[in-house]
């Protein structure tokens, strides 16, 4: 995922996953013979609150130069003109802005904190609401290979990251988005959690199934 000389933009949302990702990549910098630069970026959705400034202060303490981009993506996505799927629009606008800033900073890679559970949830979201069998990839090229998204945490489950985050005491603020617990992803997460409680092998089986596809048994 990472090569010598890479300039890597890191999407820092302020949640447990992105803090863990940034910390691990920074720690790895000190221990491997591969030289790379990390440039954390936070795209503020525009719901207000002090999360961005809290993040900036913590990053300064850690020696990380955080770039904050203040937007109105959140309120726009929840406006009367876009009531059907605010999460889709907000996510698309945020990703577009991350690409733009990464390009401004001379980065060819963008690291995102998606974990194993995110990939499983995306798999079900795409199947149930988009009618396709797909999910996110650990390494994904865009714009004819000029830009690459990497997801170093894809083999880490959410519960492990949550425990690590509690131990590290990251400055995590409550998510101010009005759709935070009402999104389609939240519905899928609740459905899957119910299945996991009934059978502890299901999470691992689903994750393995995404790498064990038999096209000859598909339409």
Instruction: Tell me the pLDDT tens digit for each residue of 47-58.
Output: 887 889 999 999
Q: Which residues contact 69 (CB under 8 A, 6 or more apart)?
A: 41, 42, 43, 44, 97, 101
Output the pLDDT for position 73.
Answer: 86
CA dihedral for 82, 88, 91, 94, sign (positive or negative): negative
Output the pLDDT for position 78.
Answer: 81
Output the pLDDT for position 194.
Answer: 96
Residues 34 and 4: beta-carbon distance below 8 Å:
yes
pLDDT in tens, 64-78: 999 999 998 888 888
Is the pLDDT at 20 greater than 90, yes or no?
yes
Residues 67 and 107: beta-carbon distance below 8 Å:
no
Mean pLDDT, to the nearest integer, of 8-17? Answer: 95
The CATH H-level (homologous superfamily) assignment of domain 6-217 is: HUPs (3.40.50.620)
Is the pLDDT at 175 greater than 80, yes or no?
no
Q: Which residues contact 201 (CB under 8 A, 6 or more apart)?
A: none
d(CA 87, CA 77): 7
Q: Which residues contact 145 (CB under 8 A, 6 or more apart)?
A: none
Mean pLDDT, to the nearest integer, of 80-91? Answer: 77
d(CA 8, CA 2): 9
Q: What average pLDDT does the chain have?
A: 92
Q: What confidence tier does 211 reach under pLDDT thresholds 50, 70, 90?
A: very high
- Chain position carrying tokens 């995110």: 118
Looking at 12-157, list the stretches that DSSP marks H as alpha helix, in order from N- to C-terminal side: 16-29, 51-62, 73-77, 86-104, 116-129
Is the pLDDT at 83 greater than 70, yes or no?
no
Residues 7 and 107: beta-carbon distance below 8 Å:
yes
Nearest to 55 by CA among 14, 112, 11: 14
DSSP state of 94: H
Q: Looking at per-residue confidence, does 208 or 175 come out higher?
A: 208
Per-residue tokens: 58: 């913590």
Output the pLDDT for position 146.
Answer: 86
Output the pLDDT for position 106.
Answer: 96
d(CA 113, CA 11): 7
Is the pLDDT at 36 greater than 80, yes or no?
yes
Residues 111 and 10: beta-carbon distance below 8 Å:
yes
d(CA 213, CA 4): 34
Domain boundaries, the chain: 6-217
Nearest to 35 by CA among 73, 77, 7: 7
Nearest to 75 by CA among 96, 101, 48: 48
What is the model's pTM? 0.92
Output the pLDDT for position 162.
Answer: 96
């Amino acid at each position: 995922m990472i090569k010598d000389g890479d300039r890597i933009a890191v999407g820092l949302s302020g949640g447990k996953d992105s803090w863990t990702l940034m910390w691990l990549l920074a720690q790895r910098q000190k221990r491997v013979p591969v030289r790379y630069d990390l440039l954390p970026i936070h795209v503020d959705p525009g719901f207000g609150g002090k999360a961005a400034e809290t993040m900036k202060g913590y990053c300064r303490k850690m020696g990380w130069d955080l770039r904050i981009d203040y937007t109105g993506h959140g309120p726009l996505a929840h406006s009367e003109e876009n009531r059907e799927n605010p999460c889709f629009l907000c996510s698309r606008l945020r990703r577009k802005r991350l690409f733009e800033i990464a390009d401004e900073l001379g980065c060819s890679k963008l690291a995102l904190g998606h974990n194993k559970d995110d990939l499983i949830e995306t798999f079900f979201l795409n199947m149930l609401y988009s009618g396709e069998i797909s999910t996110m990839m650990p390494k994904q090229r865009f714009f004819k290979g000029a830009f690459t998204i990497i997801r170093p945490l894809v083999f880490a489950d959410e519960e492990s990251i949550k425990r690590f985050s509690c131990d590290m005491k990251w400055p995590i603020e409550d998510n101010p988005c009005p759709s935070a617990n009402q999104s389609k992803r939240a519905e899928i997460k609740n459905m899957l959690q119910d299945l996991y409680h009934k059978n502890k092998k299901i999470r691992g089986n689903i994750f393995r199934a995404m790498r064990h596809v038999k096209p000859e048994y598909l339409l």
